[in-house]
């Protein structure tokens, strides 16, 4: 019986692959754009882009320039764009032409529900209108008293692993950053504690949020097939398909989706009940602010429960995943550049000592908690954060679909397949574009980070 299911699943997968491959874009126009050879019959070049691909993408940019032809699933031709002018054209100037891909929207909708990263058009506009005021500077400022104790607890946890005799010991900080950020987002955004900083604590919702992206990468080659499956199959047959396909990670992702949906609904019910009973608390989280705003808006602008639960999963996953990556990368950079670490430590120490003296704080300087405005005014800390995010963005690739034939200008001239220098690329309708931030770090791979003294801007040499 098991072997029959595997055979049936393999047959269905073959049919799905044929369905996708039969809809590929004709290669005639993009054949003029240079790029690497296809490296795998199924994943093209994507398997290298979705690994720790910084060096790989920097080499592509060095070899072919800021607009490159790459191969996607089953050899579909795509454009990999890092040229600054081309990026501006896609993301800002012609954003009415370059839309979020259906693959991206439908995949996120299945994973997280109808949240901000799963919707487009009027529904997306309505959600943005509701959420923008929630994430205002005033509300962000109010979150610092919630976040500071979590940072203190996180530090105590890390220090518990340090050798008491002062000897050298290697500590993997990435899991610690993951625990800290999911607790930050849980308390500040949702108003709940996962107890995540304690390594002994486990929670199925927390585990699902932390693992879904990593498990999903094991089956990323299925993403181009998701729109077809959503359009063509009912939920019943989609579930049957997941059961039949010989892909255990696919079933893992489904169970994680069930877990996230179940817990987000529970959180929404509990938040509403607390608001109705006046138990929102003195320190309000962003979810409470959003529910209050949603309740007071007009009927046609109000978000549905399905949309609200979608926002819960989106904010928790988005905030946790990107913050963990950014914090881990900052610590990695500072560990490699001792002079930058010493300078940052000196800046923070000086400001803490000054604040302690001004406020009459008589405890150790480590226990001084700086106000929001003081933290935001630290120039070197600001430079470290901005430069790290520039060179190593937590989300360094996004996709867009060109909805009609367009011309994509470039800042730096390209050499096409015939050896001719060109200043623009013709993009046919239906072309998928992979947008990369690694072009901003061109020429920086493996070289030292230098942050300019006394200035908000910084330079990577």
Q: Determine, yes or no, domain membership for 343.
A: yes
* C-alpha pair distances (Å), 65 with each of 36, 113, 182, 442: 12, 38, 38, 10
Residues 175 and 39 in one domain: no
Residues 140 and 215 in one domain: yes
Total domain count, the chain: 2
Q: Are 454 and 379 in contact (CB under 8 A)?
A: yes
Sign of CA dihedral 9, 10, 12, 16: positive
pTM of the model: 0.79
List the beta bridge partners of residue 432: 401
Tokens of 420: 């001719």
Q: Determine, yes or no, domain membership for 242.
A: no
- Cα torsion for 116, 118, 121, 127, to the nearest 10°? -20
**Both ends of the chain: CA-CA distance in Å?**
61
List the beta bridge partners of residue 78: 70
Q: What is the CATH number of the domain that holds 186?
A: 1.10.630.10
Residues 347 and 322 in one domain: no
b/e map of 205-219 (b: 16 or more CB within 10 Å)?
A: bbebbbebeebbeee
Domain boundary among 336, 355, 387: 336
Backbone torsions φ then ψ of 331, nearest 5 degrees: -65, -35
Mean pLDDT for each consecutive 10-residue tract of the chain (461 residues)?
A: 51 54 56 91 84 81 94 88 94 92 90 89 89 88 91 92 83 91 90 90 87 86 87 92 93 94 92 80 78 88 91 85 90 94 96 90 83 94 93 84 94 93 94 77 36 32 23
Residues 206 and 298 in one domain: yes
Q: Determine, yes or no, domain membership for 187.
A: yes
Q: Determine, yes or no, domain membership for 194.
A: yes
Q: Are 67 and 413 in contact (CB under 8 A)?
A: no
Domain boundary among 320, 336, 352: 336
Q: Is 201 helix (H, G, I), strand (E, B) or coil?
A: coil
List the beta bridge partners of residue 79: 69, 433
CB-based burial label for 367 (10 Å; 0-12, 13-18, 19+): exposed
Domain boundary among 336, 353, 368: 336
In this prediction, residue 446 carries a pLDDT of 32
CB-based burial label for 70 (10 Å; 0-12, 13-18, 19+): buried
Q: Determine, yes or no, domain membership for 241.
A: no
Rounded to an integer, what distance in angstroms lies between the CA atom of residue 319 and that of residue 40? 33
Residues 47 and 183 in one domain: no
What is the CA 32 to chain-centroid distance, rounded?
32
Rounded to an integer, what distance in angstroms lies between the CA atom of residue 271 and that of residue 311? 14
Q: Are 125 and 144 in contact (CB under 8 A)?
A: no
In this prediction, residue 444 carries a pLDDT of 34
In this prediction, residue 443 carries a pLDDT of 39
Q: Determine, yes or no, domain membership for 277.
A: yes
Give CA angle at 117 (115, 120), nearest 5°. 90
Residues 404 and 299 in one domain: no
Residue with tokens 């608390």: 281
Backbone torsions φ then ψ of 409, nearest 5 degrees: -75, 155
Residues 164 and 208 in one domain: yes
Comparing CA positions, the residue from 92, 33, 49 lying closest to residue 434 is: 49
Q: Are 392 and 54 in contact (CB under 8 A)?
A: yes
Phi-psi domain of 82 (left: phi exceeds 0; alpha: psi -120 through 50; beta: other): alpha
CA R_g for the chain: 24
Residues 87 and 140 in one domain: no
Helix residue ranges per DSSP H, 298-337 = 305-336
Residues 332 and 372 in one domain: no
Residues 330 and 383 in one domain: no
Tokens of 335: 């560990």
Q: Determine, yes or no, domain membership for 180.
A: yes
Rounded to an integer, what distance in angstroms lies between the CA atom of residue 431 and that of residue 414? 19
In this prediction, residue 12 carries a pLDDT of 56
Q: Determine, yes or no, domain membership for 384.
A: yes
Rounded to an integer, what distance in angstroms lies between the CA atom of residue 178 and that of residue 160? 17
Comparing CA positions, the residue from 70, 19, 74 lying closest to residue 45 is: 70
* Concatenated DSSP letters of 92-147: IITTTTEE--HHHHHHHHHHH-S-GGG--HHHHHHHHHHHHHHT-HHHHHTTHHHH
Q: Are 435 and 90 in contact (CB under 8 A)?
A: yes
Backbone torsions φ then ψ of 453, nearest 5 degrees: -70, 135
Residues 52 and 154 in one domain: no
Residues 301 and 153 in one domain: yes
Rounded to an integer, what distance in angstroms lies between the CA atom of residue 375 and that of residue 380? 11
Phi-psi domain of 414 (left: phi exceeds 0; alpha: psi -120 through 50; beta: other): beta
Which range of residues forms the domain containing residue 90? 29-97+338-461
Q: In what order do the strands lie in the sheet with 77-81?
A: 67-71, 77-81, 432-436, 397-402, 98-99
Neighbouring residues of 417: CB distance < 8 A, sequence distance ≥ 6: 31, 32, 33, 34
């Amino acid at each position: 019986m098991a072997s029959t299911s595997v055979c049936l699943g393999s047959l269905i997968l073959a049919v799905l692959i044929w369905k996708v491959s039969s809809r590929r874009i004709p290669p005639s126009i993009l054949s003029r754009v240079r790029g690497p050879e296809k490296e795998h019959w199924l994943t093209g070049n994507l398997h290298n882009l979705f690994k720790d691909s910084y060096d790989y993408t920097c080499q592509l940019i060095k070899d072919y320039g800021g607009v490159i032809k790459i191969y996607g699933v089953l050899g579909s031709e795509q454009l990999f764009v890092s040229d600054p002018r081309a990026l501006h054209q896609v993301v800002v100037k012609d954003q009415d032409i370059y839309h979020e891909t259906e693959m991206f929207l439908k995949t996120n909708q299945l994973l997280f529900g109808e949240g901000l990263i799963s919707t487009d058009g009027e529904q997306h506009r309505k959600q943005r209108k509701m959420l923008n005021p929630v994430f205002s500077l005033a509300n962000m400022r109010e979150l610092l008293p919630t976040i500071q104790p979590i940072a203190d607890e996180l530090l105590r946890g890390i220090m518990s692993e340090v050798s008491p005799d002062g000897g050298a010991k290697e500590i993997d900080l990435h899991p610690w950053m993951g625990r800290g950020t999911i607790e930050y987002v849980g308390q500040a955004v949702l108003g709940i504690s996962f107890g995540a900083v304690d390594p002994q604590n486990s929670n199925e919702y927390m585990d699902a949020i932390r693992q879904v992206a990593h498990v999903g990468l094991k089956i990323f080659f299925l993403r181009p097939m998701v729109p077809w499956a959503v359009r063509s199959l009912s939920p019943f047959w989609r579930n049957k398909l997941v059961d039949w396909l010989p892909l255990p990670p696919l079933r893992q992702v489904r169970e994680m989706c069930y877990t996230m949906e179940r817990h987000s609904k529970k959180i929404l019910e509990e938040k509403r009940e607390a608001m109705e009973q006046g138990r929102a608390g003195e320190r309000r989280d962003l979810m409470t602010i959003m529910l209050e705003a949603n309740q007071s808006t007009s009927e046609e602008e109000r978000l549905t429960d399905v949309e609200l639960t979608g926002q819960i999963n989106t904010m928790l996953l988005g905030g946790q995943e990107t913050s963990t990556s950014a914090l881990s990368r900052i610590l990695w950079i500072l560990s490699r550049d001792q002079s930058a670490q010493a300078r940052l430590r000196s800046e923070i120490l000086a400001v803490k000592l000054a604040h302690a003296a001004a406020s009459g704080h008589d405890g150790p300087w480590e226990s001084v908690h700086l106000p929001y405005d003081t933290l935001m005014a630290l120039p070197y800390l600001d430079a470290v954060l901005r430069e790290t995010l520039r060179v190593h963005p937590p989300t360094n690739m996004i996709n867009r679909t060109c909805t009609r034939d367009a011309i994509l200008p470039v800042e730096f001239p390209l050499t096409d397949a015939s050896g001719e220098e060109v200043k623009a690329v013709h993009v046919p309708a239906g072309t998928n574009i992979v947008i990369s931030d690694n072009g901003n770090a061109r020429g920086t791979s493996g070289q030292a980070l230098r942050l300019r003294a006394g200035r908000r801007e910084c330079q990577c040499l």
